[in-house]
Amino acid sequence: MANHASAVKRNRQRITRTTRNRAVKSSLRTVLKKARTAVDTSTEQAATLVREAQSDLDVAAKKGVIPKKRASRLKGRLASAQAKAAKK
pLDDT in single tens digits along all 88 residues of the chain: 778 999 999 999 999 999 999 999 999 999 999 999 999 998 889 999 999 999 999 999 999 999 999 999 999 999 999 999 988 7
Beta-carbon contacts of residue 71 (< 8 Å; ≥ 6 apart): 57, 58, 60, 61
Contact 30, 71 (CB under 8 A): no
CATH top-level class for 24-87?
mainly alpha
- Residue ranges of the domains in the chain? 24-87
Q: HSE on the CB side for 7, CA within 13 Å?
A: 4
- Cα separation, 39 vs 80, in Å, equals 10
Contact 57, 49 (CB under 8 A): no
